[in-house]
Structure 1
Amino acid sequence: MTAVDRLLAHESGPTPRADARRNLERLVTAARSAVAEVGVNVTAQEVAQRAGVGKGTFYRRVPSLEALLQVVLEEVLEQGIAAADRALENPDPWQGFTDFATAYVSLRKESCGVNDALGGGGSCDLERCLGELRERLRELVGRAQHNGSMRADIPWEDIAFVLAGVATAEHTIGLTAAPDQWHRNLRIVLDGLSARP
Protein backbone atom coordinates (compact mmCIF):
# COMPACT_ATOMS: atom_id res chain seq x y z
CA MET A 1 0.00 0.00 0.00
CA THR A 2 1.40 3.39 -0.97
CA ALA A 3 1.75 6.34 1.40
CA VAL A 4 -1.13 8.09 -0.38
CA ASP A 5 -3.39 5.05 -0.02
CA ARG A 6 -2.52 4.74 3.67
CA LEU A 7 -3.48 8.34 4.30
CA LEU A 8 -6.71 7.94 2.32
CA ALA A 9 -7.58 4.77 4.25
CA HIS A 10 -7.77 6.83 7.46
CA GLU A 11 -10.26 9.29 5.96
CA SER A 12 -13.93 8.72 6.54
CA GLY A 13 -16.57 9.89 4.15
CA PRO A 14 -16.73 9.98 0.37
CA THR A 15 -13.76 9.36 -1.90
CA PRO A 16 -11.82 12.61 -2.30
CA ARG A 17 -12.10 14.60 -5.52
CA ALA A 18 -9.36 14.19 -8.12
CA ASP A 19 -7.81 17.57 -7.25
CA ALA A 20 -7.76 16.66 -3.54
CA ARG A 21 -5.99 13.38 -4.36
CA ARG A 22 -3.47 15.25 -6.54
CA ASN A 23 -2.74 17.64 -3.65
CA LEU A 24 -2.21 14.66 -1.35
CA GLU A 25 0.12 13.05 -3.89
CA ARG A 26 2.08 16.31 -4.15
CA LEU A 27 2.34 16.50 -0.36
CA VAL A 28 3.63 12.93 -0.13
CA THR A 29 6.20 13.57 -2.88
CA ALA A 30 7.26 16.83 -1.22
CA ALA A 31 7.52 15.15 2.19
CA ARG A 32 9.65 12.36 0.78
CA SER A 33 12.10 14.78 -0.83
CA ALA A 34 12.17 17.02 2.27
CA VAL A 35 12.81 14.04 4.54
CA ALA A 36 15.59 12.90 2.20
CA GLU A 37 17.30 16.30 2.24
CA VAL A 38 16.51 17.65 5.72
CA GLY A 39 15.67 14.61 7.82
CA VAL A 40 12.81 13.95 10.23
CA ASN A 41 12.91 17.49 11.64
CA VAL A 42 11.32 18.94 8.51
CA THR A 43 8.38 21.31 9.15
CA ALA A 44 4.84 21.29 7.80
CA GLN A 45 5.51 24.72 6.29
CA GLU A 46 8.48 23.39 4.33
CA VAL A 47 6.53 20.39 3.02
CA ALA A 48 3.60 22.63 2.00
CA GLN A 49 5.94 25.04 0.19
CA ARG A 50 7.67 22.21 -1.68
CA ALA A 51 4.25 20.84 -2.68
CA GLY A 52 3.07 24.28 -3.82
CA VAL A 53 0.09 24.33 -1.45
CA GLY A 54 -0.87 26.42 1.55
CA LYS A 55 -0.80 25.22 5.15
CA GLY A 56 -4.60 25.08 5.12
CA THR A 57 -4.53 22.59 2.26
CA PHE A 58 -1.78 20.69 4.05
CA TYR A 59 -3.94 20.17 7.14
CA ARG A 60 -7.08 19.42 5.10
CA ARG A 61 -5.27 16.63 3.27
CA VAL A 62 -3.23 15.08 6.11
CA PRO A 63 -4.15 14.67 9.78
CA SER A 64 -0.74 15.87 10.99
CA LEU A 65 2.89 16.26 9.97
CA GLU A 66 3.71 13.20 12.09
CA ALA A 67 1.14 11.09 10.23
CA LEU A 68 2.58 12.20 6.89
CA LEU A 69 6.16 11.46 7.95
CA GLN A 70 5.06 8.09 9.35
CA VAL A 71 3.61 6.86 6.04
CA VAL A 72 6.48 8.29 3.99
CA LEU A 73 9.15 6.65 6.16
CA GLU A 74 7.23 3.37 6.27
CA GLU A 75 7.06 3.39 2.47
CA VAL A 76 10.83 3.93 2.18
CA LEU A 77 11.68 1.34 4.85
CA GLU A 78 9.41 -1.17 3.14
CA GLN A 79 11.65 -0.83 0.08
CA GLY A 80 14.47 -2.11 2.28
CA ILE A 81 12.28 -4.96 3.51
CA ALA A 82 11.35 -5.84 -0.09
CA ALA A 83 15.06 -5.84 -1.02
CA ALA A 84 15.71 -8.24 1.87
CA ASP A 85 12.87 -10.50 0.76
CA ARG A 86 14.30 -10.65 -2.78
CA ALA A 87 17.73 -11.39 -1.30
CA LEU A 88 16.31 -14.25 0.77
CA GLU A 89 14.88 -15.79 -2.40
CA ASN A 90 18.33 -15.86 -4.02
CA PRO A 91 19.65 -19.44 -3.94
CA ASP A 92 23.17 -18.07 -3.38
CA PRO A 93 23.22 -16.77 0.23
CA TRP A 94 26.32 -14.60 -0.28
CA GLN A 95 24.96 -12.99 -3.45
CA GLY A 96 21.63 -12.44 -1.72
CA PHE A 97 23.36 -10.75 1.20
CA THR A 98 25.49 -8.52 -1.06
CA ASP A 99 22.41 -7.54 -3.11
CA PHE A 100 20.60 -6.57 0.08
CA ALA A 101 23.62 -4.71 1.47
CA THR A 102 23.86 -2.66 -1.73
CA ALA A 103 20.15 -1.78 -1.73
CA TYR A 104 20.14 -1.01 2.00
CA VAL A 105 23.18 1.25 1.92
CA SER A 106 21.78 3.00 -1.15
CA LEU A 107 18.55 3.77 0.74
CA ARG A 108 20.56 5.13 3.67
CA LYS A 109 22.73 7.20 1.35
CA GLU A 110 19.86 8.85 -0.46
CA SER A 111 17.86 9.93 2.59
CA CYS A 112 18.81 11.80 5.76
CA GLY A 113 15.37 10.93 7.11
CA VAL A 114 15.90 7.21 6.66
CA ASN A 115 19.20 7.50 8.53
CA ASP A 116 17.41 9.43 11.29
CA ALA A 117 14.61 6.85 11.46
CA LEU A 118 16.96 3.86 11.45
CA GLY A 119 18.89 5.50 14.26
CA GLY A 120 15.73 6.01 16.33
CA GLY A 121 15.33 9.73 15.59
CA GLY A 122 12.01 11.49 15.16
CA SER A 123 8.64 10.85 16.72
CA CYS A 124 7.33 8.21 14.29
CA ASP A 125 6.57 4.70 15.48
CA LEU A 126 8.49 2.58 12.98
CA GLU A 127 9.06 -0.44 15.20
CA ARG A 128 7.11 -2.78 12.89
CA CYS A 129 9.35 -1.89 9.91
CA LEU A 130 12.52 -1.85 12.00
CA GLY A 131 11.65 -5.23 13.51
CA GLU A 132 11.08 -6.70 10.06
CA LEU A 133 14.41 -5.31 8.84
CA ARG A 134 16.21 -6.77 11.88
CA GLU A 135 14.65 -10.18 11.31
CA ARG A 136 15.53 -10.18 7.59
CA LEU A 137 19.13 -9.12 8.29
CA ARG A 138 19.50 -11.85 10.92
CA GLU A 139 18.23 -14.40 8.38
CA LEU A 140 20.46 -13.13 5.57
CA VAL A 141 23.56 -13.25 7.76
CA GLY A 142 22.60 -16.66 9.16
CA ARG A 143 22.19 -18.14 5.68
CA ALA A 144 25.54 -16.78 4.47
CA GLN A 145 27.34 -17.95 7.61
CA HIS A 146 25.67 -21.34 7.50
CA ASN A 147 26.82 -22.03 3.94
CA GLY A 148 30.34 -20.82 4.75
CA SER A 149 30.41 -17.75 2.51
CA MET A 150 30.45 -15.22 5.39
CA ARG A 151 32.77 -15.17 8.37
CA ALA A 152 31.12 -17.01 11.25
CA ASP A 153 32.86 -15.00 13.98
CA ILE A 154 30.76 -11.85 13.45
CA PRO A 155 27.37 -11.46 15.17
CA TRP A 156 24.59 -10.31 12.85
CA GLU A 157 24.03 -7.26 15.08
CA ASP A 158 27.55 -6.02 14.30
CA ILE A 159 26.78 -6.17 10.60
CA ALA A 160 23.88 -3.75 11.10
CA PHE A 161 26.35 -1.18 12.47
CA VAL A 162 28.96 -1.90 9.82
CA LEU A 163 26.44 -1.34 7.01
CA ALA A 164 25.24 1.86 8.69
CA GLY A 165 28.79 3.21 8.55
CA VAL A 166 29.30 2.61 4.83
CA ALA A 167 27.48 5.76 3.67
CA THR A 168 29.92 8.40 4.80
CA ALA A 169 30.04 12.18 4.91
CA GLU A 170 31.15 14.12 1.85
CA HIS A 171 34.36 15.28 3.57
CA THR A 172 36.83 13.93 6.08
CA ILE A 173 40.32 15.05 7.17
CA GLY A 174 40.46 17.49 4.28
CA LEU A 175 39.54 14.87 1.67
CA THR A 176 36.48 14.92 -0.56
CA ALA A 177 34.53 11.71 -1.11
CA ALA A 178 34.47 10.30 -4.63
CA PRO A 179 31.04 10.24 -6.32
CA ASP A 180 30.95 6.46 -5.86
CA GLN A 181 32.54 6.50 -2.40
CA TRP A 182 29.82 4.44 -0.74
CA HIS A 183 30.20 1.73 -3.39
CA ARG A 184 33.93 1.63 -2.72
CA ASN A 185 33.39 1.52 1.04
CA LEU A 186 30.86 -1.30 0.62
CA ARG A 187 33.31 -3.37 -1.46
CA ILE A 188 35.88 -3.07 1.33
CA VAL A 189 33.30 -4.07 3.96
CA LEU A 190 32.05 -7.03 1.93
CA ASP A 191 35.61 -8.20 1.37
CA GLY A 192 36.13 -8.09 5.13
CA LEU A 193 32.94 -10.07 5.80
CA SER A 194 33.62 -12.73 3.21
CA ALA A 195 34.85 -16.05 4.53
CA ARG A 196 38.35 -16.99 3.44
CA PRO A 197 39.05 -20.52 2.16
Structure 2
Amino acid sequence: MPRSSSAVERLIADPTGRQPRADARRNVERLVVAARTAIAEIGADASAHEIAARAGVGIGTFYRRIPSREALLLAVLEEVLDSMAEAGDRALAGSDPWRSLADFALAYVGLRAESRGLCEALGGARAEELTRALAALRERFRLLVERAQAAGAMRTDIAWQDVPFLLASVTAGDRTLGLQATGDQWRRTLRVLLDGLRTGTPGPLPGTAPS
Protein backbone atom coordinates (compact mmCIF):
# COMPACT_ATOMS: atom_id res chain seq x y z
CA MET A 1 0.00 0.00 0.00
CA PRO A 2 1.45 3.41 -0.89
CA ARG A 3 2.08 5.59 2.11
CA SER A 4 -1.02 7.57 2.95
CA SER A 5 -0.96 11.31 3.55
CA SER A 6 -0.98 12.45 7.16
CA ALA A 7 -3.88 14.21 8.85
CA VAL A 8 -1.90 17.47 8.77
CA GLU A 9 -1.23 17.15 5.04
CA ARG A 10 -4.90 16.45 4.34
CA LEU A 11 -6.02 19.48 6.31
CA ILE A 12 -3.57 21.98 4.84
CA ALA A 13 -3.88 20.76 1.24
CA ASP A 14 -4.56 23.68 -1.08
CA PRO A 15 -5.88 23.04 -4.60
CA THR A 16 -3.73 25.92 -5.88
CA GLY A 17 -0.59 24.29 -4.51
CA ARG A 18 0.22 27.16 -2.17
CA GLN A 19 2.03 26.22 1.03
CA PRO A 20 0.75 27.52 4.39
CA ARG A 21 2.84 29.81 6.56
CA ALA A 22 5.00 28.07 9.15
CA ASP A 23 2.92 29.35 12.06
CA ALA A 24 -0.29 28.17 10.40
CA ARG A 25 1.16 24.70 9.89
CA ARG A 26 2.29 24.57 13.53
CA ASN A 27 -1.25 25.40 14.68
CA VAL A 28 -2.69 22.63 12.51
CA GLU A 29 -0.12 20.20 13.88
CA ARG A 30 -1.08 21.13 17.45
CA LEU A 31 -4.76 20.74 16.67
CA VAL A 32 -4.19 17.29 15.14
CA VAL A 33 -2.28 16.11 18.21
CA ALA A 34 -4.98 17.52 20.49
CA ALA A 35 -7.74 15.93 18.42
CA ARG A 36 -6.02 12.54 18.56
CA THR A 37 -5.85 12.60 22.37
CA ALA A 38 -9.40 13.97 22.67
CA ILE A 39 -10.74 11.24 20.39
CA ALA A 40 -8.90 8.62 22.44
CA GLU A 41 -10.21 9.86 25.79
CA ILE A 42 -13.65 11.30 24.93
CA GLY A 43 -14.67 9.64 21.68
CA ALA A 44 -15.24 10.37 18.03
CA ASP A 45 -17.52 13.35 18.78
CA ALA A 46 -15.03 15.49 20.73
CA SER A 47 -16.02 19.16 20.51
CA ALA A 48 -14.11 21.92 18.76
CA HIS A 49 -13.81 23.84 22.05
CA GLU A 50 -12.33 20.78 23.79
CA ILE A 51 -9.79 20.24 21.03
CA ALA A 52 -8.84 23.93 20.83
CA ALA A 53 -8.31 24.07 24.60
CA ARG A 54 -6.09 21.01 24.51
CA ALA A 55 -4.09 22.54 21.66
CA GLY A 56 -3.69 25.82 23.52
CA VAL A 57 -5.34 27.91 20.81
CA GLY A 58 -8.53 29.96 20.67
CA ILE A 59 -11.67 28.77 18.92
CA GLY A 60 -11.14 31.52 16.32
CA THR A 61 -7.73 30.05 15.43
CA PHE A 62 -9.32 26.61 15.27
CA TYR A 63 -11.77 27.67 12.56
CA ARG A 64 -9.20 29.77 10.68
CA ARG A 65 -6.87 26.79 10.35
CA ILE A 66 -9.33 23.88 10.09
CA PRO A 67 -12.14 23.63 7.52
CA SER A 68 -14.49 22.21 10.16
CA ARG A 69 -14.57 20.08 13.29
CA GLU A 70 -15.87 17.19 11.17
CA ALA A 71 -12.95 17.52 8.75
CA LEU A 72 -10.44 17.43 11.61
CA LEU A 73 -11.99 14.38 13.29
CA LEU A 74 -12.25 12.54 9.99
CA ALA A 75 -8.65 13.30 9.05
CA VAL A 76 -7.36 12.02 12.39
CA LEU A 77 -9.47 8.84 12.28
CA GLU A 78 -8.35 8.16 8.71
CA GLU A 79 -4.73 8.62 9.73
CA VAL A 80 -5.07 6.11 12.59
CA LEU A 81 -6.88 3.56 10.41
CA ASP A 82 -4.28 3.99 7.67
CA SER A 83 -1.52 3.40 10.22
CA MET A 84 -3.24 0.11 11.12
CA ALA A 85 -3.33 -0.92 7.46
CA GLU A 86 0.36 -0.03 7.16
CA ALA A 87 1.05 -2.24 10.19
CA GLY A 88 -0.75 -4.98 8.28
CA ASP A 89 1.55 -4.45 5.31
CA ARG A 90 4.62 -4.70 7.54
CA ALA A 91 3.21 -7.92 9.00
CA LEU A 92 2.61 -9.34 5.53
CA ALA A 93 6.25 -8.68 4.69
CA GLY A 94 7.33 -11.05 7.50
CA SER A 95 8.47 -14.57 6.70
CA ASP A 96 6.48 -16.37 9.44
CA PRO A 97 2.72 -16.30 8.63
CA TRP A 98 1.59 -17.03 12.19
CA ARG A 99 3.97 -14.54 13.80
CA SER A 100 2.85 -11.95 11.26
CA LEU A 101 -0.81 -12.42 12.18
CA ALA A 102 -0.06 -12.44 15.92
CA ASP A 103 2.07 -9.28 15.72
CA PHE A 104 -0.64 -7.48 13.74
CA ALA A 105 -3.30 -8.60 16.23
CA LEU A 106 -1.19 -7.22 19.09
CA ALA A 107 -0.79 -3.84 17.37
CA TYR A 108 -4.47 -3.71 16.41
CA VAL A 109 -5.83 -4.57 19.85
CA GLY A 110 -3.30 -2.26 21.48
CA LEU A 111 -4.62 0.69 19.47
CA ARG A 112 -8.20 -0.28 20.27
CA ALA A 113 -7.33 -0.40 23.97
CA GLU A 114 -5.86 3.11 23.81
CA SER A 115 -8.64 4.93 21.94
CA ARG A 116 -12.33 5.13 22.71
CA GLY A 117 -12.99 7.03 19.50
CA LEU A 118 -11.18 4.47 17.41
CA CYS A 119 -13.35 1.69 18.86
CA GLU A 120 -16.42 3.76 17.96
CA ALA A 121 -15.17 4.21 14.40
CA LEU A 122 -14.38 0.51 14.01
CA GLY A 123 -17.83 -0.25 15.41
CA GLY A 124 -19.57 1.75 12.69
CA ALA A 125 -19.44 5.41 13.70
CA ARG A 126 -18.76 7.53 10.60
CA ALA A 127 -18.67 4.35 8.51
CA GLU A 128 -19.74 6.10 5.31
CA GLU A 129 -16.95 8.67 5.61
CA LEU A 130 -14.35 6.03 6.45
CA THR A 131 -15.30 3.52 3.73
CA ARG A 132 -11.88 3.55 2.02
CA ALA A 133 -9.83 3.20 5.20
CA LEU A 134 -12.06 0.45 6.62
CA ALA A 135 -11.95 -1.49 3.33
CA ALA A 136 -8.14 -1.33 3.33
CA LEU A 137 -8.03 -2.65 6.88
CA ARG A 138 -10.42 -5.50 6.05
CA GLU A 139 -8.19 -6.52 3.16
CA ARG A 140 -5.15 -6.78 5.47
CA PHE A 141 -7.12 -8.99 7.84
CA ARG A 142 -8.13 -11.26 4.97
CA LEU A 143 -4.62 -11.58 3.59
CA LEU A 144 -3.01 -12.26 6.98
CA VAL A 145 -5.59 -14.86 8.03
CA GLU A 146 -5.61 -16.69 4.71
CA ARG A 147 -1.80 -16.77 4.63
CA ALA A 148 -1.63 -18.25 8.15
CA GLN A 149 -4.25 -20.85 7.23
CA ALA A 150 -2.48 -21.77 3.99
CA ALA A 151 0.72 -22.33 6.00
CA GLY A 152 -1.11 -24.73 8.36
CA ALA A 153 -0.55 -22.40 11.32
CA MET A 154 -4.21 -21.49 11.93
CA ARG A 155 -7.49 -23.34 12.16
CA THR A 156 -9.18 -23.46 8.77
CA ASP A 157 -12.73 -23.63 10.14
CA ILE A 158 -12.46 -19.93 11.12
CA ALA A 159 -13.47 -17.37 8.48
CA TRP A 160 -11.24 -14.32 8.21
CA GLN A 161 -14.34 -12.22 8.96
CA ASP A 162 -14.54 -13.87 12.40
CA VAL A 163 -11.17 -12.49 13.45
CA PRO A 164 -12.05 -8.75 13.70
CA PHE A 165 -15.04 -9.68 15.89
CA LEU A 166 -12.87 -11.89 18.09
CA LEU A 167 -10.24 -9.17 18.51
CA ALA A 168 -12.92 -6.58 19.33
CA SER A 169 -13.98 -8.75 22.28
CA VAL A 170 -10.51 -8.51 23.84
CA THR A 171 -11.09 -4.88 24.93
CA ALA A 172 -14.69 -5.30 26.10
CA GLY A 173 -14.06 -3.71 29.53
CA ASP A 174 -11.90 -3.70 32.66
CA ARG A 175 -14.50 -4.95 35.18
CA THR A 176 -16.77 -7.99 35.31
CA LEU A 177 -18.48 -9.87 38.16
CA GLY A 178 -16.83 -7.53 40.64
CA LEU A 179 -13.38 -8.47 39.33
CA GLN A 180 -10.90 -5.76 38.34
CA ALA A 181 -8.64 -6.34 35.35
CA THR A 182 -4.95 -5.61 35.61
CA GLY A 183 -3.21 -3.40 33.07
CA ASP A 184 -2.11 -6.52 31.21
CA GLN A 185 -5.56 -8.07 30.99
CA TRP A 186 -6.08 -7.39 27.30
CA ARG A 187 -2.70 -8.93 26.52
CA ARG A 188 -3.60 -12.08 28.49
CA THR A 189 -7.01 -12.29 26.84
CA LEU A 190 -5.44 -11.81 23.42
CA ARG A 191 -2.95 -14.60 24.08
CA VAL A 192 -5.74 -17.02 25.02
CA LEU A 193 -7.68 -16.01 21.92
CA LEU A 194 -4.70 -16.45 19.61
CA ASP A 195 -3.93 -19.85 21.09
CA GLY A 196 -7.53 -20.81 20.34
CA LEU A 197 -7.01 -19.89 16.69
CA ARG A 198 -3.64 -21.52 16.39
CA THR A 199 -2.76 -25.07 15.45
CA GLY A 200 0.12 -26.23 17.63
CA THR A 201 1.53 -25.35 21.02
CA PRO A 202 0.01 -22.49 23.09
CA GLY A 203 2.22 -19.56 24.04
CA PRO A 204 2.95 -18.35 27.58
CA LEU A 205 0.44 -15.97 29.19
CA PRO A 206 1.73 -12.42 29.80
CA GLY A 207 0.98 -10.41 32.96
CA THR A 208 -1.01 -11.54 35.98
CA ALA A 209 -4.56 -12.77 36.52
CA PRO A 210 -7.32 -10.28 37.44
CA SER A 211 -8.00 -9.58 41.09
> What TM-score does the superposition give when structure 1 sets the normalisation length?
0.95
- In the alignment, does 2:159 pair up with 1:155? yes
CA deviation vs aligned residue, 1:105-162 (integer Å, no higher than 9, x gap): 0111111111011111147611111001111101110011111100000111111100
Q: Where in structure 2 are the equivalents of 1:6-45 lying within 5 Å?
A: 6-10=10-14, 12=16, 14-45=18-49
| Distance verdict in 2 for CA 1:11–1:124, change over 3 Å | farther
State the match for 1:113 in structure 2.
117
Report the AA paired with residue 122 of structure 2.
L
Give SS of 1:165's match.
Answer: helix
State the match for 2:68 in structure 1.
64
Q: Structure 1 CA distance, aligned partners of 2:109 and 2:17?
A: 41
Q: Where in structure 2 are the equivalents of 1:1-197 lying within 5 Å?
A: 1-10=5-14, 12=16, 14-122=18-126, 125-196=129-200
Question: Quick check: 1:69–1:124 contact (8 Å CA) kept in 2?
Answer: no
| Distance verdict in 2 for CA 1:11–1:54, change over 3 Å | farther
Identity of aligned residues (%): 57
Report the AA paired with residue 154 of structure 2.
M
Q: State the 1:5 CA deviation.
A: 1.1
Gaps of 5+ in 2: 202-211
Q: Structure 2 CA distance, aligned partners of 1:14 and 1:152?
A: 53
Q: What is the RMSD computed on CA atoms of the aligned residues?
A: 1.5
Report the AA paired with residue 31 of structure 1.
A
Q: Structure 2 CA distance, aligned partners of 1:192 and 1:135?
A: 22
State the match for 2:204 in structure 1.
none
Gaps of 5+ in 1: none
